[in-house]
Amino acid sequence: MADLTLPTPLVSVSWLRAHLRDPRVRVLDARYALNDPLTGRIAYLSGHVPGAAYADLETDLSGPVQPGGSGGRHPLPDPAALAAWLGSVSVGNDSLVVCYDDPGTGQGFYAARAWWLLRWLGHARVAVLDGGWPAWVAAGGEVSTEEPSPTPVPFVPDVQADLVATAADVQARGAGTLLIDSRAPGRYRGEVEPIDRKAGHIPGAVNRDWTGALDETGHWRDSGAQAARLDAGDAPTVTYCGSGVSATPNLLARELAGVPLGPDNRLYAGSWSDWISDDTRPVAVGQDD
């Protein structure tokens, strides 16, 4: 069989349609809604890309919430548990994985979370479907309501620890490291806080709302636009959000702009909900510091 390559962390609908029947390709449907956890599963059962497995944010793409909130509202899953789940849905170390969600709902960050987690486990052959589910349907992509019966395969993780920053890393970051808050501006400024018990942001953080990574059609902006809106230059970055989910589009955007995941493009996995679990950590409100 011909070699399958991924020149960027994105694949188009036309690419997936052309390669969907390749036995090396696996698809993860990561649709979800924070305000209604059943929405994604119902949408999946109503119609999905043929052969796709459903990846639930709470049960598959996150670990258990810890007493006191350490680790945040969506802690990283245990690597062995995540690897076991991936293997159970036929994702092996040789698979090429395409993740999608529904940016048309305004919550198009779950596919990026799945993408980032696979990269964290050392799996380089993973991409996000540009435009997600709406683009697939608009292009006439085949829709299935049949749940696949996957054949379990081994998935051996190779955890990339340098993709993750902790609260201690954030506190000890050097002056040259840019700390990016990916939430909506109102939450960053502390004007509203619909989820967490404290409002505001980590002192020294700048606001780069994750939604700017996508255009009005739900497709990803090009590399130049990503570089311009992130405005990070060559500085190392640590990126966070509320719980380590909506920050991941900014991590993908930075990779599109030429800075791969790694020491210069890290996720503060616990994010704001982890930061405020310790009341000794400072909180800022208002505009960029």
Task: Just list the catalytic residues.
Answer: 241
103 vs 192: CA distance, rounded Å: 23
149 vs 89: CA distance, rounded Å: 8
Q: Which of 60, 75, 113 is nearest to 249 (CA)?
A: 113
76 vs 46: CA distance, rounded Å: 29
Q: What are phi and psi of 180, to 5 degrees?
A: -110, 125
148 vs 5: CA distance, rounded Å: 25
CB atoms within 10 A of CB 249: 30
